[in-house]
Structure 1
């Protein structure tokens, strides 16, 4: 149904990149396992941390080098799912999977003073969502999809800024500046609002916006970065009625992509909103119970004595 049978194993799974990801996974397990025993003040990663990191790595691979990457060059809806996996799902999993001692060493080697402004919540939200929205302007999107070096650099920039955006919510350094629960909730709402215009443009556009998904010659040119077949061979092989025939419904595919992106983003951030609110409520309740002014003469909270 998706037409994956038209592509080779190498096209679908990109073995060289898969090997690179496996090396990263193996290196991670060594560093957070046996190697951590030789590092002062380092604690081995927990089973949960290992699982989160490896799942995040797998998600990033599937989105950027596996089948989702290939399908994202064929159908706009899969492109948006790939973007959501790359920048809304993988970063928090990877961040939560790294032990604190690794984050401390990363922080020491970062040019903190010159780049610290990028980690400011509002700046991080505006930069990431701005880059994401600008990328989906038709002229920018088609240019990036047709220029491999620009494509990779832009995706790296999106990944780095997405990590900075998630830092406000998941700051893994206990000694670092932690945003309050109320600030985090406001930050989540800001991110939800900033991405809405781009999704609205995509969903309600009266015609297909992207030549990459509506012009066969442009599509074939962009596809040659994903497959070994040349653009002319792609058109000869996949131009017939046996292929997806996705070009005849490019607008519908575009609308589905915009809706999927917005629903995935809303689902992730609403879940995060619930988690932050619950954590904030528990912290406030614990502080109220520990406040001496909230205790009666017997040392019990007023609300307990009232019962």
Structure 2
């Protein structure tokens, strides 16, 4: 029984393996959410139940990304699956976790002065932009991938850094607390579109490199007849397309909401003159 997924160097077998650390992470996230809701008491129980469903969906995504088979496949066998893990940790789970956490609970979490300062700092668009992309580039350096994913602690650190970066990245877009000064709709769209281009840098290296970049995946026992180069090219395409589709999709939703809000303001400010037709 292992604590977290890490590269093993052995031939892959389709036999289930337990990872205690993954189960513990899921249990902590679920219990903490339920306990906080009970202690702080939701002012709107009906809305709380729907938000809890979204939050649990985010936890489920984390579970799928970290547990068998995606976790061990990504940690030591296929770079393409490793990239899918990154997408799940950084692009899919964080929006669900943020959207599923109600404002009253978030206010309780940042009530301490230090927590409010930290949340305020990390929610600044430039800070969030820099933090997210530095983590993206750093965790895909050959030295980090080859060095960290060979140990359970290192693999855990990489996965949690993706999750933390994802939460910071999505907060300026989805953060519901007005006291943290969220971006207006046009600013959110610019922020999202700007983040589309940075992942294309490592994606280009993965797609167009003539040799395997990571020795870990080059020397890993082959699966499904894929060569290391083919696996690497698939990983590059996933990083380039999937993240862009998610970001541009949410940008489209924001544009729709912005246009609706603008139309609503115009309608609210437009008053029809009283009819002059004799009654």
Say whether the fold is shared (TM-score over 0.5): yes
| Cα separation, 1, equivalents of 2:31 and 2:54 | 14
1:278: which partner in 2?
256
Q: Which runs of 5+ in 1 are unaligned?
A: 220-238, 300-307
| Cα separation, 2, equivalents of 1:176 and 1:115 | 8
| Cα separation, 2, equivalents of 1:24 and 1:126 | 27
Deviations 1:208-256 (A, max 9, x none): 11011012xxx4xxxxxxxxxxxxxxxxxxx6xxx6265x610110110
Whether contact under 8 Å (2:77, 2:217) holds in the other structure is yes
| Residues paired across the two proteins, number | 263
Q: Return closer, same or farther for 1:141/1:187 CA change in 2, 3 Å cut-off.
A: same
Whether contact under 8 Å (1:126, 1:194) holds in the other structure is no
Aligned counterpart for 2:184 among listed residues 180, 195, 198: 180
1:225: which partner in 2?
none
1:249: which partner in 2?
227
| Cα separation, 1, equivalents of 2:201 and 2:12 | 36
Q: Which runs of 5+ in 2 are unaligned?
A: 1-10
Tell me by how many angstroms 1:92 deviates: 0.6
CA radius of gyration, larger in: 1
| 2:30 is aligned with 1:25 | yes
Q: Return closer, same or farther for 1:46/1:268 CA change in 2, 3 Å cut-off.
A: same
Counting helix residues as a fraction of each chain, which structure ranks higher?
1
Question: Which deviates the most, 110-119 or 70-79?
Answer: 110-119
1:80: which partner in 2?
83
Aligned counterpart for 2:101 among listed residues 78, 83, 98: 98
Q: State the Cα RMSD in Å.
A: 2.6
| Cα separation, 2, equivalents of 1:6 and 1:263 | 30
- SS across alignment from 1:178: coil
Question: Which deviates the most, 14-23 or 181-190?
Answer: 14-23
- SS across alignment from 2:149: helix
